[in-house]
């Protein structure tokens, strides 16, 4: 047969179609973990490859016996392609209740009978009543006289393909636009062979040849383009879309390579960088391009559960999200990827923060209340003992505070407390802990500070308080304070005992004329009595 003859060119195109399908089956095999429908796609391409290669050999045959042999090989693949495509469409759409193993195997009963009929046709002639060589054609070709089962097979194959197109058409409007290219590819891949089969039945093809195998080349090329341009068959089935879009929480679906396979509208509102172009990209890259957020542990075991809360800043507003990552498994238990759920807990977190603030902060002075000061001081004390670093404590009391309240009123008294705290906060080191101990009495914890240095801090505070009088509408009020300072010397001394020592030192400052600093040791630092 000349290589430049139309038949030779036709055979070459059919072989190319077979090669395409072999490559697609290899791709599907090595990527079957990305989408459970990949196994169906793999078998569909294998069956198509068997059909197209056998058809190429049929065209190259030189006798009726050779043609009969290759026809038998063709039917190993061809009857099963249409039900495979139907199963693939149902799986992609998400019709899982119709896609059970029992129902799936049921779709292959008639194709299996067809294969049996072809293999045993010489005994019953239910598939082919007769086969004879076609005259007046440029190559050896065969004409068939169809039997009863030939029509049953044709009706079943056409029905399977029409059902696939019907399902795709029905779900077209319910599908997000980013998936419609994939649906269109599947629809064209099903429609072209149907059109070719119709032309063949009507006798409108060159030399009366079956055009379906050559159209398979176009179909295969479309699948190749779609797989690499739209991630066909590597994303979650579209049936999940209506669930995704109805969820208030942001949801992302990742594959095992941490690539984004799907997301819902709520997720794209949280992460503006989540656009259709983000499909197939690494989540880490999209996360970095999103709103200012905390770091998320992407490297955790994808099969396990992981949860953390993140602060998220978007458009100048602060949001809080609980990020929950969990494994995504196939029905057989094999890991397929993972889901990331972003739950908006802003209202809950802000309420918690408010309650925590009320539980920890003194409402008047906006510093730690006694309970929380004691709690944090115990932690500092434990840490100091573990690291063998010094820690000191200061208690101070505003002198004659009752007189300020009685003379100027409680509002001025409150203002005096706030004024003293504001002065102290400007003088204290960064690691100091300041709390309201009770009434007009305050406590300070000074980590990494020995007694002598703590005494100097107290002296500086005393000077600043007396040197910054309170200016009220009534008059200028000079405020003084008395201080007691102690240091934790042994690990077994509890916080209450240390503060008791500081209180004794404070008592000495009061009895020595006030406006003074005393250490818990006999050493006397300063006394300056205000008259």
Residue 11, domain CATH:
1.20.1070
Segment 296-301 shows an average pLDDT of: 61
Segment 383-391 shows an average pLDDT of: 92
The pLDDT tens digits of the residues spanning 23-36 come to 888 888 887 666 65
How high is the pLDDT of residue 236?
46
Evaluate if residue 42 carries a pLDDT over 70. yes
- Out of 3-7, 173-177, 475-479, pick the least confident: 3-7
Using pLDDT thresholds of 50, 70 and 90, give the confidence band for residue 390: very high
The pLDDT tens digits of the residues spanning 424-445 come to 999 999 999 999 999 999 999 9
> Range of 123's domain?
6-229
* 296 and 373 together in one domain: no
CATH of the domain at 277: 3.30.450.20
* 485 and 454 together in one domain: yes
* 388 and 494 together in one domain: yes
Q: Please provide the DSSP assignment of 383-394 as one string.
A: HHHHHT--EEEE
Instruction: Give dist(CA 430, CA 486) in Å, integer.
Output: 19
* 322 and 177 together in one domain: no
Instruction: Give dist(CA 250, CA 233) in Å, integer.
Output: 23
Evaluate if residue 4 carries a pLDDT over 80. no
For tokens 């800043």, name the residue.
Answer: 313
How high is the pLDDT of residue 242?
56
In a domain, 240, yes or no: no
Cα four-point dihedral sign 192, 194, 199, 205? positive
Segment 350-371 shows an average pLDDT of: 87
In a domain, 1, yes or no: no
Cα four-point dihedral sign 86, 184, 285, 348? negative
Evaluate if residue 22 carries a pLDDT over 80. yes
Q: What is the mean pLDDT of the chain?
A: 83
Backbone angles phi, psi at 340, to 5 degrees: -115, 120
The tally of domains found in the chain comes to 3
How high is the pLDDT of residue 226?
65
> Is the pLDDT higher at 130 or at 526?
130
* 344 and 365 together in one domain: no
Cβ atoms of 30 and 49 within 8 Å: the answer is no
Cβ atoms of 482 and 516 within 8 Å: the answer is yes
* 162 and 14 together in one domain: yes
Q: Which of 308, 311, 312, 313 is nearest to 298 (CA)?
A: 308
Segment 223-233 shows an average pLDDT of: 62
- Burial group, residue 398, by CB count within 10 angstroms (0-12, 13-18, 19+): buried
* 330 and 407 together in one domain: no
* 449 and 374 together in one domain: yes
């Amino acid at each position: 047969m000349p290589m430049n003859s139309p038949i030779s060119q036709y055979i070459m195109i059919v072989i190319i179609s077979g090669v395409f399908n072999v490559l697609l089956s290899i791709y599907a095999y090595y990527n079957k973990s990305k989408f459970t429908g990949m196994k169906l796609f793999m078998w569909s391409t294998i069956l198509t490859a068997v059909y197209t290669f056998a058809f190429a050999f049929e065209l190259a045959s030189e006798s009726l016996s050779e043609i009969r042999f290759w026809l038998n090989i063709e039917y190993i693949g061809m009857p099963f392609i249409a039900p495979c495509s139907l199963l693939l469409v149902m799986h992609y759409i998400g019709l899982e209740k119709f896609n059970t193993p029992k129902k799936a195997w049921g779709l292959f009963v008639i194709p299996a009978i067809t294969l049996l009929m072809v293999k045993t046709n010489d005994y019953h002639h239910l598939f082919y009543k007769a086969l004879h060589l076609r005259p007046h054609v440029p190559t050896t070709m065969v004409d068939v006289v169809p039997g009863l089962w030939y029509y049953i097979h044709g009706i079943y194959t056409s029905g399977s393909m029409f059902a696939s197109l019907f399902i795709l058409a029905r779900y077209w409007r319910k599908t997000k636009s980013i998936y419609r290219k994939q649906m269109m590819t599947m629809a064209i891949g099903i429609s072209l062979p149907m059109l070719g089969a119709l032309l063949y039945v009507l006798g409108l093809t060159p030399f009366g040849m079956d055009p379906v195998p050559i159209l398979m080349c176009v179909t295969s090329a479309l699948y190749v383009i779609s797989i690499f341009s739209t991630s066909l068959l590597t994303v979650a089935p579209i049936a999940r879309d209506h669930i995704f879009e109805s969820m208030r929480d942001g949801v992302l679906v990742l594959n095992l390579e941490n690539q984004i396979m799907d997301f819902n509208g709520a997720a794209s509102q949280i992460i503006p960088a989540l656009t259709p172009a983000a499909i197939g990209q690494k989540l880490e890259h999209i996360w970095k391009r999103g709103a200012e957020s905390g770091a998320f542990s992407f490297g955790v075991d994808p099969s396990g559960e992981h949860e953390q809360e993140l602060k998220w800043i978007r458009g100048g507003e602060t949001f809080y999200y609980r990020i929950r990552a969990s494994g995504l498994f196939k029905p057989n238990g094999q890991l397929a990827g993972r889901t990331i759920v972003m739950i908006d807990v802003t209202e809950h977190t802000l309420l918690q923060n408010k309650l925590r603030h009320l539980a920890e902060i003194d409402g008047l002075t906006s510093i730690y209340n006694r309970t929380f000061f004691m709690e944090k001081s115990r932690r500092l004390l434990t840490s100091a003992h573990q690291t063998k670093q010094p820690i000191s404590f200061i208690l101070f009391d505003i002198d004659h505070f009752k007189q300020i309240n009685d003379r100027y009123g409680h509002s001025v008294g409150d203002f005096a407390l706030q004024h003293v705290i504001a002065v102290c906060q400007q003088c204290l080191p960064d690691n100091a802990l300041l709390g309201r101990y009770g009434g007009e009495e305050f406590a300070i914890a000074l980590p990494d500070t020995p007694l002598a240095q703590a005494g100097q801090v107290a002296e500086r505070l005393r000077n600043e308080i007396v040197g910054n009088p309170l200016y009220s509408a009534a008059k200028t009020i000079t405020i003084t304070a008395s201080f007691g300072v102690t240091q934790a010397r042994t690990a077994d001394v509890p916080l209450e005992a240390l503060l008791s020592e500081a209180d004794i030192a404070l008592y000495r400052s009061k009895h020595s004329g006030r406006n003074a600093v005393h250490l818990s040791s006999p050493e006397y630092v300063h006394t300056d009595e205000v008259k």
